[in-house]
Amino acid sequence: MTTGTTPRLRPSLKRRSPGLAVERELWSHDSVVVVGVDEVGRGAWAGPISVGAAVVPKDRRVYKIRDSKMLTEPEREALFDRIAGWCESWSVGHASARECDELGMSEAQRLAARRALEGLGHDPDHIIVDGNWDFVGGARRIVGGDRSSLSIAAASILAKVTRDRIMKGMAPDFPGYNFEANKGYPCPIHKAALQAAGPSAIHRRSWVFMDYLMWNGLERHVRPEAQQELPFES
């Protein structure tokens, strides 16, 4: 739920503002469309993995943007509409829990990224991604990019809020798992619900944590190759 006003920054965040240094470097070399990309949901046990893509303008700023993980949920919600309206274009692409099971997390993340870039409506000249893995292909990797690049930070908030809203919207269909609060990530209530009732239709059923659960009639998804990827929080 948006509030229409930007949040007052907590003192710990005031000196941690992402900038446009990388974007300006690329703009100066005739890269007209620079896209910041970030993912969210890779470490969740349920729901989609989501990738945000954002193209920010050269001549206007939205202040108080930070890495989505540094902001509270109300802060992200308060910023969402301002960021969406400020971007020259933006998109969030998703890969479902079923696609995560069938493809594996790495390929599902690539799929979500492709969908996000297709949703922008024009071809990028350059793409910058957070982290040390180029899950887009041909992108510049920036470790800590969600804290240093305004484009990536904007993408991180757009992706996080969009995915959170999806999980809250699905929560009434899957009562007991507390998706409205945990958004599909592991927490004590989520773990207890899985032990008591088994997985729902939107859980990633090929993951190792599913090996020790009581099954409730849903088919256990096992890919031909063992799931070797280790999930991480985002």
What tokens were used for 227? 């799931």
Which residues 6+ apart lie within 8 Å of 54 measured at CB?
A: 35, 36, 37, 83, 87, 89, 90, 151, 152, 154, 155, 158
48 in the same domain as 163 = yes
Instruction: Tell which of 144, 169, 194 closes a domain.
Output: 169
189 in the same domain as 161 = no
Residue 59 · residue 195 · CB < 8 Å: no
136 in the same domain as 49 = yes
Q: Is 162 left (phi over 0), alpha (psi -120 to 50) or beta?
A: alpha
160 in the same domain as 90 = yes
Indicate the number of domains in the chain: 2
91 in the same domain as 180 = no
202 in the same domain as 112 = no
140 in the same domain as 207 = no
141 in the same domain as 33 = yes
180 in the same domain as 143 = no
What tokens were used for 147? 């804290």
Q: Quickly list DSSP for the chain.
A: ---SSPPPPPGGGTT---BSHHHHHHHHTT---EEEEEEE-TT-SBS-EEEEEEE--SS---TT---GGGS-HHHHHHHHHHHHHHSSEEEEEEE-HHHHHHH-HHHHHHHHHHHHHHTTSS--SEEEEESS--SSSSPEEETTHHHHBHHHHHHHHHHHHHHHHHHHHHGGGSTTS-HHHHTT---HHHHHHHHHH---TTB-TTSGGGGGSPP-SSPPP--SS---PPP---
Assess if residue 151 is contained within a domain: yes
153 in the same domain as 91 = yes
Assess if residue 225 is contained within a domain: no
Assess if residue 4 is contained within a domain: no
CB contact burial 96-127 (16+ within 10 A = b; e otherwise):
bbbbbbebbbeebbbbbbbbbbeebeeebebb
Measured from the Cβ of residue 73, the count of other Cβ atoms closer than 10 Å reads 15
Q: Which amino acid is at 24?
A: R
Assess if residue 197 is contained within a domain: yes
Instruction: Tell which of 151, 169, 187 closes a domain.
Output: 169
Q: Which amino acid is at 200?
A: S
Q: Domain of 97?
A: 19-169
193 in the same domain as 144 = no
Assess if residue 229 is contained within a domain: no
Question: What CATH number has the domain bearing residue 158?
Answer: 3.30.420.10
Quote the pLDDT of residue 218.
55
Quote the pLDDT of residue 135.
97
pLDDT < 70 positions in the chain: 1-16, 209, 211-234
Quote the pLDDT of residue 234.
44
121 in the same domain as 53 = yes
Which residues 6+ apart lie within 8 Å of 33 measured at CB?
A: 55, 122, 123, 124, 125, 126
Assess if residue 220 is contained within a domain: no
